Structure 1
Amino acid sequence: MNRVLRSTLVATLLAPALALMAQASEPTNVKELQKARHDHYHELGDNFKVVRDQVRTDKPDLAAIKTAAKFVNDAAGEQEKWFPAGSGPEAGKTQALPEIWSKPAEFKAAMKMFSDAAPKLQTAANSGDVAAIKTAFGDVGKSCKNCHDKFRAEEH
């Protein structure tokens, strides 16, 4: 069997297996989706706190800020996927308010505010300009608060 044919055969046989493996790593039920969403936001909060804590010091760790700002920016681009239909309060305990699904245009606008602010934080972090980082951090924080005020229940 020649190499091209063998490679084609292997690729043909592996594709379904790889697809199944990818599906297996994705949450499969609503509880898993809710937990994954919670975990994503927890990690986002941890990275946001890194930036906050570092800009409050006399000698900020710019590498830590840069890494955290990249995570915040990446999360901003992914968060829309974290709210599939059926993963709200009707599915169990969650801080996600039903308005996320009943007012999708408003929720999308709130997420856009965050996804517009996050790249500016990453740009500022990459520049190493602490004053610019503080300003961009404040803008990202305002976008988070905007969404939390409208679409997130208080923790009990």
Structure 2
Amino acid sequence: MTPDIQARLTDLGLALPPAPAPAANYVPFVLAGDLLHVSGQVAADANGFIIGKLGDTMDLDGGVAAARACALSLLAQVNAACDGDLSRLRRVVKLNAFVNSTADFTDQPKVVNGASDLFAALLDPAVSPHARSAVGVAALPFGVAVEIDGIFQIG
């Protein structure tokens, strides 16, 4: 990991988790040319899965924290794909985010800002701006609040 990203993580009181292992029959990432496709990372922290449904059992702040946890797991997968050298990360290209939410909850973009804002805080301004989708869904694996996959350009 590059010293700048490590320093920024430390300043925010954060650390990259170990890259999560796949939970089924898939790989955590696939490199195609210079594009790294990272499989969906479910919301989890040191206590386990971050479970909840936005608009019911979880509030907006909890959803933002869950999306932030997904971003850390995505970055951990990028780190693993780059053999621990995050200086190879050239761009966050696209995030696809799924928010476990009730039918009347419409703040999915605010939830997913938890991930986007973390990338902006950790990465150089030329690296972090990205395209994004924020979709409400009726359920996610393990009952987690958020799942995010991503496409990253690496060198």
TM-score normalised to structure 2 length: 0.28
TM-score normalised by L of structure 1 = 0.27
Which is helix-richer, 1 or 2?
Answer: 1
